Structure 1
Amino acid sequence: MIGFLQRLPVLVILAAVTALMMMIPAANASVAGHAAIARNFFYAGLLILVFCGLIGIATQANPRPPRSRATLLTMLGVYGILPPLMALPFAESLPDTGFFNAWWEMVSSLTTTGASLYSADLLPMPLHLWRAVVGSDDT
Structure 2
Amino acid sequence: MPSEPQGPDAAHRRPPGVDDRTVEALGKLSEALEAVEVARGHLYAFHRLSGTADLTCGQAVDLLREAGHDALADRVEQEVVGRNVIEGRWTFQVVEDYDATYYAAFKDVERAAREELVQGRRHLYEAEMKEDRRTRGARHHEARPPQP
Normalised TM-score (structure 1): 0.32
Structure showing greater Rg: 2
- Structure with bigger helix share is 1
Q: Does 1 or 2 have the higher relative contact order (CA < 8 Å, sep 6+)?
A: 2
